[in-house]
Structure 1
Amino acid sequence: MSHELRTPLSAILLWTTLIEEEKLEEREQLQEALAAIKHSAEELQALIDNLVETTRIVSGRFTLQRTVGEIATVVEAAIAQVQPAAQAKQIPLHRQIEPASAPVDRARLQQTLVLLLQNAIKATPPGGRVELSVGVHDEEMRIAVHDTGAGLTPERLARVFSGPPPSAQAKAPRTDAGLGYGLIVAQQLVRAHGGVLTAASGGPGQGATFTIRLPLDPTRAITAVAPEAHGTAQTLHGRRVLLVVDDAELRHHLAAGLHDAGAAVSAVDSAPAAAEAAERQYHDVIVCDLALPTIDAGELLQDLREHEVTHARPHAPALALAHADHADAASLALKHGFMRCLQAPVDPATLAAAAAACLAANPR
């Protein structure tokens, strides 16, 4: 905080000292000095406004103005707001938006999405990817922001909504929404709507996903379930799961649930990405959508099996995800070598329990 406040103050003091000591004799120099002072003062004002706004939100001193309307317009407005920053880093902003409406404060929801998108863009290297998806599940609206950035260690993930650690503040000060506390502000705004904001990451280099869950009924608040409350938390703790699902929203939803169960998740959308993930590290469980668009799931599993043999690794138990229109999915999955087949829609807790059961049946 002190660094970000001192930067514009230092510029103002420098230019005023030069003027006071009459070291700027030319009119052009004086105009340059006045322009720099004005710019620094405006920057300082913006920082102070952000700090005041952050303090007000974190302390709960604000009210929501709810209206019912399509969420797509809020999403597009948030994307437009961060588009220049994304373009500067050559990061495409992809979106997958299902028709959805909910009683929300549209300005506050847009503010929340901007904070999450800013966070994703800052974490993602040039040429990376940021995805935003919207869908409705079990009387909830879910908005997920996924990036292919630096990812989060388990330690950082555990305190991601507690603000940046002191070392991070010293080395890489942030300016989003109140000096590094953008995620805290986002969490408070989601909570005010009766919702929950969660974070998931497969670890360093695996990107991160932040998911907003908002109730369609404003009288029903969503209760966050701590990872320890899941019966499978201890079983999946420290386990690595390879999740291959091409649908972005479903992939993020399931990845967040598996993470809540204690797993480190490599969530990918294609066979080539799955092969790359398998090359990087061994996975204890494989979860694969049977309806991948460019390759048969059985063929992909066979490729992964060959990779395991090449690297002298044991076969990881594999689960298949089938859609309602996929006839004879269970028998087909077993034929291809999957241990179990789960029928969509799949609840993350059910998937985590199935993964734990497969691990228990295949001790190594």
Structure 2
Amino acid sequence: MTAAVLARADIAAEACADMPALVEAVAGGAGALLIAEEVLVSPALPLLAGTLAAQAPWSDLPVLVLARQGADSPRIGQVMEELPNVTVIERPVRVAALVSALRSALRARRRQYELRALLEGLQQADERKDQFLATLAHELRNPLAPINTALALLSRNGTTPAETARYHELMRRQVDHMVRLVDDLMEVSRITRGKVDLQRLPVLLDAVINDAIELSRPQVRAAGHTLAIDLPGETLFVLGDAVRLTQVFSNLLNNAAKYTPPGGMLHIAARRDGSQVVIDVIDSGVGLEPHMREAIFDMFVQVGGSSKAAQGGLGIGLTLVRSLVELHGGRVEARSDGPNRGATFTVRLPLAPAATPSVDATPAPDWQAASIGRSILVVDDNRDATDSLTELLRALGATAFAAYDGEHALRIAAEQRLDIAVLDIGMPGMDGCELARRLRALPAQAPLTLIALTGWGQEADKQRIAEAGFDHHLLKPPDPGALMALLKG
């Protein structure tokens, strides 16, 4: 009768003949229990108490007990002592009161399930974080090992100029690799938080794909893959940022090359589909399990069991791809027939009206040919960073001064006429922002160009640095050409 009454109130109820049947039903999931007082005697009460005691930490199953009038009986006292989350309702009870009490219990139970989902998500995120930190440590140790070896070789006596040049080139390559890892981390943080501005212009699709192919070609060749290219015969434009779109397709090609055993087949194809353009990147690699087709785009996720095939990486490339594609109003999806049967990544982007794409023909500055005839103060608590940059500036004709803290820098500024100050931000004691304000307050140093050269690159950091009076903000390690262009004025 109660189940029928609840059904009319749109509350699904299952009637159980005895306590073992109820315990079995609870194992399949329940929103609340409604039990008559008369049932809660031995051995039913201990059985239910044991079942509720075995709940997961997130679970607190509501138990509503229909008690006889005068609900202060010893039995009810025992029930409230042995069972958690008990609500006692005296009989006779109005239907509206019973329905209201059950709806409240079910709402509370739904919140518990939401909490479970949140906890599971946090647990997965924590596991991914641990995996990411281990991967990051591995990826950073890899380039550090040859750098350390090269430094040991350079410290030997009798190193020839050719050997020295070779070791310098080795260290430069490894440092570039580490910079790319850090840049990728910063990039995915900015993009996923919507902190990236796209330069939206009509972009020729063929040009974007060809640029991506050129970026990925060394990795494709190194693995001995065959790359097939199938571009449309018509001229197609998309409205977007050419650099970011090139990044999308080079990431997909790099991903295909990494997860395909040597000598595999890669294929990139594009076609019009109504008002959209569809680009497929296909490989003959390790493939995907069905449950990975969506998860593969999540942060720090990599294909399980294929770390050797992947040859490194932080597991953020596809996260960047999805975020950038969605910023362009498109979508990306992955398909696979299963493990070792290859994968296809499909990008859909809206077409733009045909237009003449813009081309940036500005040549990159040749920093090695730069000549800087200016007075420059370099301030950083990292002595190696300060000394090496100071030596480079002196080699390029600058009058350069090195300081390792804010007080030292102010003493130099009191004695020397400066054109430029390159300041680290995260220094102990007086940080770079405070030093910048105090340098600005020196009448003898006006006008003075202030350049922040720091590892702090979040939006809040940029705002704080700008408010301190800096003219420019560069991230460590800086692009030499960009730095030299600022120093030459």
What is the count of residue pairs matched by the alignment?
Answer: 213
* Match of residue 208, structure 1, among 324, 339, 343: 343
- 1:26 maps to which residue? 158
Structure-2-length-normalised TM-score = 0.40
Is the 8 Å Cα contact of residues 286 and 306 (structure 2) preserved in structure 1?
no
* Two-structure CA RMSD over aligned residues (Å): 2.8
Structure 1 partner of 2:331: 196
* 1:126-165 alpha-carbon deviations (Å, 9 max, x no partner): 3321111111213222111111111111122241111325
Conserved in 2, the CA contact under 8 Å of 1:79 and 1:93? no
**Which residue identity lines up with residue 85 of structure 1 in the other structure?**
Q
Cα distance change on mapping 1:72 and 1:171 into 2, 3 Å: closer
Equivalent positions of 1:1-364 (< 5 A) are: 1-16=136-151, 24-28=156-160, 34-98=168-232, 99=234, 100-162=236-298, 163-165=300-302, 175=312, 179-216=314-351
Gaps (5+ residues) in structure 1? 219-364
Distance 1:193 1:42, change over 3 A: closer
Q: Distance in 1 between matches of 2:321 and 2:339?
A: 23
Quick check: 2:212–2:250 contact (8 Å CA) kept in 1? yes
CA distance in 2, matches of 1:125, 1:170: 12
Query: 3-state SS of the aligned residue for 1:27?
Result: coil
TM-score by length of 1: 0.52
Decide which structure has the larger Cα Rg and report it: 2
Tell me the alpha carbon deviations over residues 59-105 of structure 1, each in whole angstroms, 9 at most, x when there is no partner.
32111111114311111121122122222333222122222222121
The answer on whether the counterparts of 2:257 and 2:266 sit within 8 Å (CA) in structure 1 is yes
* Alignment partners' CA distance in 2, 1:142 and 1:109: 13
Q: Which has the higher relative contact order, 1 or 2, with Cα contacts under 8 A spaced 6 or more apart?
A: 1
Residues of 2 paired with 1:62 and 1:189: CA distance?
9
Matches of 1:170 and 1:93, distance apart in 2 = 23
- Secondary structure of 1:125's partner? coil
2: CA distance between counterparts of 1:124 and 1:169?
A: 10
**Matched letter for residue 176 of structure 2:** E
| Residue of structure 1 equivalent to 2:358 | none
Question: Deviation at 1:110?
Answer: 0.9
Deviation per CA, 1:287-307: give whole Å up to 9, x if none.
xxxxxxxxxxxxxxxxxxxxx
Which secondary structure state, in structure 1, belongs to the residue aligned with residue 282 of structure 2? strand
Whether the 8 Å CA contact 1:174–1:180 is kept in 2: the answer is no
Q: Distance in 1 between matches of 2:345 and 2:255?
A: 10
Contact 1:130 1:148 in 2 (8 A): yes
Residue 124 to residue 26, structure 1, CA distance change in 2 (3 Å): same
Structure-2 change in CA distance of 1:33 and 1:77 (3 Å): closer
Residue identity over aligned pairs, in percent, reads: 33
Write out per-residue CA displacement over residues 205-240 of structure 1, whole angstroms, 9 at most, x where no aligned residue.
22111111112369xxxxxxxxxxxxxxxxxxxxxx
CA distance in 2, matches of 1:10, 1:82: 25
Q: CA-to-partner distance for each residue in 1:248-307, whole Å, 9 max, x for gaps?
A: xxxxxxxxxxxxxxxxxxxxxxxxxxxxxxxxxxxxxxxxxxxxxxxxxxxxxxxxxxxx
d(CA) in 2 for partners of 1:96, 1:113: 14
- The match for 1:356 is none
Q: In structure 1, what is the Cα distance between the partners aligned to 2:273 and 2:223?
A: 33
**Corresponding letter in the other structure for 2:289:** T
Counterpart CA distance in 2 for 1:170 and 1:96 is: 30
